[in-house]
Amino acid sequence: MKSICVIGSLNVDMVAAVERFPQPGETLTADGYSVFFGGKGGNQAVALGKLGAKVKMVGKVGEDIHGNDYIRHLRMNGVDVSGISTEKGAVTGTAMIWVDRQGENQIVVSPGANGCMQPSDIDAMWEELVESDLFLFQLEIPIGTVAYAVKRLKQAGKTIVLDPAPASQLPEAIFRYIDYMTPNETEVRYYAGKQDRYVYQLKEAAGILIRRGVGTVIAKAGENGAYLIRDTELSHIDAYPTQAIDTTGAGDSFNAGFAYALASGLEVNEAVRIGNAVGALSVRQVGAQSAMPTREELDRFLETSQRRIKL
């Protein structure tokens, strides 16, 4: 089993359940409110830890109680926390989230300590970093730091998975260092610079990313599963039926399942299936991490679904 390192964000998610999203200037009364651990980086690390992967988290928390709590929480979920530091004078990243009755969400993120991750932090822990084989990135820490780390790690022979969310301007030079890019359908078109969906189909948009140097594009499509685009080939991989209560973190769960399967030696299309399964399980409860499966739960789910895979 290859070892995995997640370099990214740690947020505290403040989640209000709402009947519907508010209009500008409108005040709504929430159905309920909860606080969860979240952030795309932390979500991926916890999903991997729950599955039993050998996983390390690299990131920053603030000098507040949330920071220490989050580190303890990661440790309890089997994540190596030696790459997490506390940023003096900063607050832990925060995400303000509404979830409506369809399980859809709207999110505003305040980066806090996540915004303090510098290329020099990557250099400072280089020796420990290169012990891992597979690296997961998202875009909730400074893009310059992501670009720097992706390039250096790829040049050191590592495998790079980038979930380019939230959609942000990326330097052109980053694409050639990415082995697997896992945008959602909207993000594929955003990065291809082709947002007119009627003119540019998914395959063409992903093709633009591949021509810019990305190895493989995996377009996450929620309840429609995922599309795997390599060279000029596009294949569709079905989603698993599920009941969506809260889709927050479903994409992160997908990435974790995908990476876990790759690290276990599965082929890419099988790894996408595992990503779909972990994503499907994760949406069944409120909170990004609440319903992420253990390996045992994943096995049981795969066994009872019609689409079995030996993992």
d(CA 193, CA 126): 34
40's contact among ligand RIB, Na ion, none, with CB below 5 to 8 A by partner kind, is ligand RIB
**The two three-digit tokens of residue 17, written as one number:** 């359940």
Residue 231 is a catalytic residue: no
d(CA 56, CA 135): 10
Cβ pair 129, 122 in contact under 8 A = yes
| Angle of CA points 217, 221, 222, to nearest 5° | 135
Q: Which residue's C-beta sits nearest to Na ion?
A: 246
Is 248 a binder of ligand RIB (CB under 6 A)? yes
Tell me which of 80, 121, 179, 252 is the catalytic residue: 252
Is 194 one of the annotated binding-site residues? no
11's contact among Na ion, ligand RIB, none, with CB below 5 to 8 A by partner kind, is ligand RIB
Q: Which is nearer to ligand RIB, 210 or 283 (CB)?
A: 283
Residues 6+ apart with CB under 8 A from 187: 164, 165, 167
Q: Which is nearer to ligand RIB, 100 or 204 (CB)?
A: 100
**Binding residues vs Na ion (CB under 5 A):** 246, 291
Q: According to CB under 6 A, which residues from 68 to 97 bind ligand RIB? A: 95
Q: Which is nearer to Na ion, 105 or 132 (CB)?
A: 105
d(CA 60, CA 155): 24
Q: 57 - beta bridge partners?
A: 6
Q: Catalytic amino acids?
A: 252
Q: In the complex, which residues of this chain contact ligand RIB (CB under 6 A)?
A: 11, 13, 38-40, 43, 95, 107, 109, 140, 248-249, 251-252, 288
